[in-house]
Amino acid sequence: MSKGKETRETILRAALDFASKLGFESLSIGELAKRVGMSKSGLFGHFNSKEKLQMMVIDYAADNFTEHVFIPAISKERGIPRILAIVETWHRWSSRYFTGGCPLVAAAFEYDDRPGAVRDHLTEHQKTMLNSFEKAAQIAVDEGQFDKDLDCNAFAFEFLSLMLGYHLYSRLLQDDDAKFRHLEAVDSLIERSKAKDYKETSHQ
Partner DNA sequence: TATTTTTCAGCACGGTCGTTCCTCTATTAT
Partner DNA sequence: ATAATAGAGGAACGACCGTGCTGAAAAATA
Alpha-carbon span 177 to 168, nearest angstrom? 12
Which range, of 22-30, 146-154, 169-177, 192-200, touches DNA by CB under 7 A? 22-30
Quote helix, strand, coil % in the chain, to nearest 5: 75, 0, 25
Beta bridge partner(s), residue 194: 146
Query: How many of the other CB atoms lie within 10 Å of CB of 63?
Result: 12
Which range, of 60-68, 78-86, 133-141, 178-186, touches a second copy by CB under 8 A? 178-186
Our finding on whether 184 is near a second copy (CB under 8 A) is: yes
Residues 78-107 touching a second copy, rule: CB under 8 A, are 99-101, 105-106
Q: What angle do CA 101, 89, 130 make, to 5 degrees?
A: 80
Our finding on whether 199 is near a second copy (CB under 8 A) is: no
Residue 5 interface partner, choices a second copy, DNA, none, CB cut-off 5-8 Å depending on type: DNA
Which range, of 39-47, 67-75, 81-89, 153-161, touches a second copy by CB under 8 A? 153-161
Our finding on whether 42 is near DNA (CB under 7 A) is: yes
What is the x/- site pattern for DNA, positions 44-83, by CB under 7 A? xxx-xxxx--------------------------------
Residues 1-20 touching DNA, rule: CB under 7 A, are 2-5, 7
In the chain, the amino acid numbered 79 is G
Strand stretches in the chain, DSSP E = none
Least separation in angstroms between residue 90's CB and a second copy is 15
Alpha-carbon span 31 to 157, nearest angstrom? 37
Among 7, 66, 126, 138, binds a second copy (CB under 8 A): 126
